[in-house]
A = this chain, B = another copy of it.
């Protein structure tokens, strides 16, 4: 039957055992779980997820490496806590009127989260823990489209579509930023330095469309006073499609 429940849940929800009445014996913890998680977020924001090592985190907290394991069962669980907290710490703005603006807001809020915490995009191999931060966020996201005529499954899919899109734009941008940071040259520099070599190396293979479009896109993106043009185009199309679907369903209710 019911396998033992997942022990990480208590940690995610900071649930204190019910035996809170009995004051804890033994040595006291110097820090709180939140201290550890926040420090982890700070490091990941600065150095990326691979740059977050248990030893570094411990030393930034003034702890020995192994002391971390009294706060958190392991690195994976720490990252899960970081994700939930990063998602949950954001204040969720009030919903505007109009489905379209509401859905746009859902996408933009997630986009901002991914920009502030780019390591969120690197957390792929990890299970999606259900914690308070993720739950608050999901509830808020659903509230954007509650009552507009979508059934439950469509609501879930709509939210997934919006935040998936926001993630993928953020990921594309972050990839470029990371590249420029690690190579020390801008995209334009790279193409300038490698145009000749590319000509040699491609040795006659022709890419008429890719060449033309790639060049235009490259120019446009590096102009980039507004770095988020990619966001606007895609979001507009997605919202068009979603609004049309909603209106069509309104026309023919179940």
Contacts and interface: CB of A to CB of B under 8 A. Distances in A.
Interface of A: 2-6, 9-10, 12-13, 15, 48, 50, 121-122, 124-128, 130, 132, 135, 138-139, 142-143, 146, 151-158, 160-161, 164-165, 167-169, 171-172, 174-175, 178-179, 182-183, 185, 189-190, 192-194, 196-198, 200-203, 205, 207-210, 212-214, 216-217, 220, 229-230, 233-234, 236-242, 244-245
A193 B5 contact: yes
Contacts of A230: 157, 160
Give the number of copies in the complex. Answer: 2
11 contacts: A9-B197, A9-B201, A13-B203, A15-B203, A122-B124, A124-B175, A138-B214, A164-B164, A164-B172, A165-B165, A240-B241
Given A135-B207, A157-B230, A238-B238, A217 B15 contact: no
